[in-house]
Structure 1
Amino acid sequence: MKTVPLKSVMRQNQHRIVLVIDDSLEDTEIYRRYLEQDNKYSYTILEAETGEEGLELSQKKPDAILLDFMLPDFDGLELLVELKAKYYLKHLPIILLTGHGDETIAVKAIKGGAQDYLVKGRITSEGLRFAVDNAIKTAALQAKIEQQSQRERLILQITQQIRQSLQLDRILDTTVSEVRKFLQTDRVVIFRFNKDWSGAAISESVAPEYISILSQNIYDPCFGKNYVQHYKQGRIRIVSDLDSGKLNKCYVNMLTQFQVKANLVVPILLDEGLWGLLIVHHCSTKRKWQQIEVELLEQLATQVSIAIHQAELYNQLEQELNERKRKEAALLESEDNLRQINSRLLKITNQYKLQNQELDQFTYIVSHDLKAPLRAIANISTWIEEDLGQQVETETKKNLSMLRSRLNHMQSLINGLLDYSRVGRTQIAIETIPVADLLDEIINSLQPSSDFNIVISPQMPTLQGRKILLQQVFANLLSNAIKHHDRSDGKIEISVKDLETCYEFSISDDGPGIAPEYHNKVFAIFQTLESKYKSDSTGIGLAIVKKIVENEGGKITLESQLNQGTKFTFTWLK
């Protein structure tokens, strides 16, 4: 077994390797001389005298094989079948050589995968060169056609899977697996970027003898600076030899750790952005990538982009659907809660109505059954005094007068209690209230002494509200300020502030004031700062004022110190 370089004129890219498997050295020498006469190609002849030698030399992937039909250890047709069974020789052109022109052998040879059939003794120099050249070109054409057919089938398979399935992981796994099989390479990955241009292989097909990089977080410090714009523009990176010395050192170091000797990288673009990469690693040897292989990866990268976009849309729709279901469930739950709340409110409303009925009944009892006896007692005391006339002693007369005073106080308490219970329970119409006019009416009804000075701010508003209630509030506060003043020449100031949603009214006087410890007490029902028998106050007025103000959505406060006057402030919604 030996290798013989021929001395034909060497031209760039015009060199061929021919394996001759023939136990006749004379015939082999003839074939060498015939091929040497070719001015278009230079040849390297690999010589094997046995079938075993031929199988071993076939691993060097020659461009063509001249195979003798009769070998010492093999039948030519048997060796032909064995050679064609090797995947790397699938498209290798084999020309069968025989010493006899047997058509039966010729048919079997062609069926077995031979490209041509030549009869020894009839071979000419021109005929051999033509047969070899034609066999190589025909085999190359057949390989290209088959490769194109396989490429189209692969693209169709991926496209159909994208249309039929929304499972992105399955689509990506099928893509890398089929691409590795089609290219007869060592590793194919789909790589997805993070925001910092690090990333991970989310799908991988790798030969058993090489390491897996699936799910490994990979960061190339050179990538962002040197390659991002390159890939964003849709450009492909083709590396046939990692050790060519033409590549960035950090890029070579990064690929070396993954055993890469040649690679092919196609960007996966999504919404005009760089989503990731479709990468092919050839680890066993350097490799010259064919245009058809590059075109395949370009087309598949487009299909992968479509699959990713489709999957993201599906996930978005699924999330929206789940959110809608969640909201519908929450709405149903809210409706159920609302029904329960409505049921409770209805029950409370019914209880409230019943309580109101009971309160109305109580009011009737108080106004009729309690007030009537009081009036009777008052009348009887008057009649007794009238009947006795001059016979009534002074002390008795004084006691009868005190009795009628207590009866009047009791009647005032009952009236105040009735007024307090009615606050918020009666329907009162909304009307326009000129507050300045309302205050004038109240002050005239109270008839303060001529020395008493009441100042009303000129900014008093006109508002919409329940006039009788606002009148009751002002009347109580002004009445108290006049009644409890320690001088007949006192002063009261009524002012207003326009807040965003309400008005804030203030009634200030320069009277004796109220000690801070009594500020909360004055708003409690039946609470007075003087003995109930020294004053005609029932202790209900400010309690009614507070209840009215709060029922109307406002609040009331008190500012006062002893001997420094008193200021009541309350808010009233606009």
Structure 2
Amino acid sequence: MAQKEDFQVEKDNIIDYQLRFQKLLISISTKYINADLSNVTSLIESSLEQIGNFVGADRSYVFSYDLKNKTTSNTFEWCKDGIEPEIENLQNIPINYIQQWLDAHTKGEAFYVEDVSLLTDDGEFGLKAILEPQGIKSLIAIPKIKNNELIGFVGFDSVEKIHKYSEDEKNLLFVFASMLVNIIQRKEQETLIEKQKKSEETLLKNIAKQNQQINEYTQMVSHDLKSPILNIHTLISWCKTDLKESLDSQNLNHLDEILFNVEKMDSLIDGILDYSTVDKVDAKDKVLDLNQLVQNIVNNMSIPDHVVVNIQDNLPSIIGNSWRYKLVFKNLIQNAIEYNDKENPKVEVGFENKENFYKFSVKDNGIGIKPGYFDKVFKVFSKLHNNTSSPGIGLSIVKKIITNYKGDIWIESKENIGTTIYFTVLKQN
């Protein structure tokens, strides 16, 4: 019985450790996303300290690979009190000194040495000869990969004692490495933009180039963020399922809160991707049957049973891109449902046939909007209420699409009565 209880205690401790690690990663990820890029260095050093302390490392660091010149250099470092820093000694180190290291990273694998003293002695330039003078007893180095390209690694040294890393720890450290790639990449992008701004002779050309780079960067960062967020969501979901019987309601609620915020972050990233690409889609416009398009949208949405969505008969056909107009109607309908506090929510999709254009409307009987906020709701990340799962980017996407098609969009609303969003689409032969 005692042995069984000891096993359960150990299992509970492992689960608690994993959950705390995941919460720490979510906290760091949030800081990275909202970071002032002028403070990236201190932010990275702070996160190295947090992760280093959490896993019991004595030194944590970031290296960049220069595969063209076959060198690697230490770019960021944190050391525990009493541990000597090595960053100045580790610049432009020939890669052939750490070939085993590089081989593992090239495969996308961690390089892990549980006991440095057990390494083979390969002479004064061998790996053991490099690590032992630094007092390293154990280490783990996780590759940093950007767009399938090896760009560096993040490592953790144990100097005071040997440290054994579990597979779960390794997986979570991979998530941290992906987060570092994102924030460093953002900083590099900002530095590039600042340099471009200093060149007055090519200012106009640079502005256009910067906009393109920012859009590409947004897509790249968003795609890269999806992977760690998915990993975090999966890990927490597993924990919730496996521990459903052993955790109390408060702890289960905490897990639900984490999942809610991870899903919210995922929705935000999807919104950013849509916003950054909606005017970049290289697709020819075609005739769109809005009766079929809008009905398919409603059929594929997860609409609560008590919500009624009415679509006016005989919606017109228009010329446009199917994906763009799906985003328009989906975001407007979703927004009408999201901001509705009535017992019997209603959403109405309609149109009026004008001489040179169609005037569409999406009407609800929801909470309404104050007149002074009509323009604000179309701004990116603007939300009038913080207690919703909406990322606050849907109406920005809608306005961008309608504006690109040379249409108008506006709001009529009364508080506690409802809101109608109108937009126009030009008629084309």
User: What TM-score, normalized to structure 1?
Assistant: 0.36
User: What TM-score, normalized to structure 2?
Assistant: 0.47
